[in-house]
Amino acid sequence: MAIFGLPRALGLPGLLGDPRPWLAAATFLVLRLAFRAVGQPAALRRAAFATASPVMAFPIALGITDPPVLALTCLALALLTRPAWPALTARAALTARSASAARTWAAVMARAALARRVWLAAVVLGVACAMKYTAWPALAVLTAMVAVRGGARPPARFAAIATATALTLAAALAPASLTTPAALIQNTIMYPLGLTTARSPAQSPLPGHLLATIGPAGHLAAMILLIASGLAIAASLVTRPPANPSAAARRLALGLALMFALSPATRFGYFAYPLGLYGWIALCRIPAASVDGVDERAQLDSA
C-alpha cells in the first residue's frame, strides 16, 4: 500500500502526488483485466462503470485503499473462470482430419490455458493478501473452489503460490512486518477486534460494535458470535464448497459481511467488499458451463 504514497514522498505536486488518482487508476486497470479475462466484450466500459460506482468511487475519494484489493480479488475470480474455446474448436474442426482429433487439440489448448490462469490467479490473490488482511478470506474460499473442481493437488499448489507471493512481497516491501511480528498481529488482528488500547475513530454502530459498548460481557459475546460465524463459513467450505467463481464470490461476500457486522471495531465502509462482489457477479454473468469436450478435473490436475 505504501506504493500509492510514493508519488507524494518523491515530491510530486498536486494531483500527481495525491494517492487517490493512483488508487483510481490501479482499480480501473485491474477491473479492465478482470472483465477481459471472463470474455466481456465491453471490458473498458464495464471497468469505467464499476470504478465510478459509489461502491468504488466513495472510498477512492476518501483515499481508502480497499478498492484495488477488491479489484484484485475480482481478477483472481475472473482468472479461475473456465475459458470457452468456440473459435479454437471451430478452427480445429476445419483443419483436423476427424472430429476426435479436433476435440483432442481443443482439450490440449484448454488445459494449457487453464494452467496459466490458475497460476496467475494465485499470484494475483497473493498480491491482494500482501496489500491488506481483508483479502485473506478469499484465499480460503478460492482454495475450496479449486479443490472441488480439481481434486487435492491443485488447491495445495494454489494456496502455496498465493501465500508465497504474499510473504515475498511483505519481505521485499515491508520487511518490518516480518521482523516485528508482534506489531503485525496488533495491527491486523487485535486492532480490528477492539483488543488494543487504540480505538478507531471510524467505528460504526454495527451489531458487533454495539455489543462491545455494553462492557466486557458484550465484547465477549461479539467475539463468540464472530468466531461462530467464521467456523460456520469454514464448515460450509468443507460440506458445500463453491463449484464456480460466481458461487465463490457469493460465499466470500457472505463471510465478509458477517465478519464486518460482528467485529467489535469496524465501519460501514468495509461493506464495499460484499457489495462489490455482488456487483461483479451482476456485471460479469459468469457462465457455469464446462469447456466443451474437456474434463475439468484433468485440466486442473495438469495445472
pTM above 0.95, yes or no: no
Report which secondary-structure segment, H or E, holds 209: helix 207-212
| pLDDT higher than threshold 90 for residue 299 | no
Is 218 in contact with 211 (CB distance < 8 Å)? yes
* pLDDT, tens digit, 9 for 90 and up, residues 92-103: 445 555 566 655
Q: Is the pLDDT of residue 87 over 70?
A: no
Tell me what pLDDT residue 293 has.
32
For 42, phi then psi, to 5°, come to -110, 55
Q: Give pLDDT, residue 101.
A: 61
Q: What is the pLDDT of residue 46?
A: 94
Report the alpha-carbon distance of residue 210 to residue 76 in Å, rounded: 34
pLDDT for 113 beyond 70? no
Where is average pLDDT lowest: 11-20, 147-156, 218-227?
Answer: 147-156
For the cut 80, the answer to whether the pLDDT of residue 34 exceeds it is yes
Instruction: List all residues 6 or more positions away from 253 whose beta carbon is below 8 Å from its beta carbon.
Output: 273, 274, 275, 277, 278
Rounded CA gap, 243 and 222, in Å? 31
CA distances from 109 to 47, 104, 116, 118, 299 (A): 28, 9, 11, 14, 10
Q: Give me the sign of the Cα torsion angle 85, 86, 91, 95.
A: positive
Q: Tell me what the mean pLDDT of segment 242-265 comes to.
A: 92
Task: State the pLDDT at residue 103.
Answer: 59
Rounded mean pLDDT of 246-261?
94
pLDDT of residue 86: 42
Task: Say what the pLDDT of residue 110 is.
Answer: 56
Q: Report the range of poorest mean pLDDT among 33-42, 131-140, 254-263.
A: 33-42
**What's the rounded mean pLDDT across residues 177-183?**
76
The pLDDT of residue 1 is 72
Predicted pLDDT at 219: 86
Mean pLDDT of 13-26: 91
Q: Which residue has the higher pLDDT, 94 or 193?
A: 193
| Structure confidence at residue 129 (pLDDT) | 93
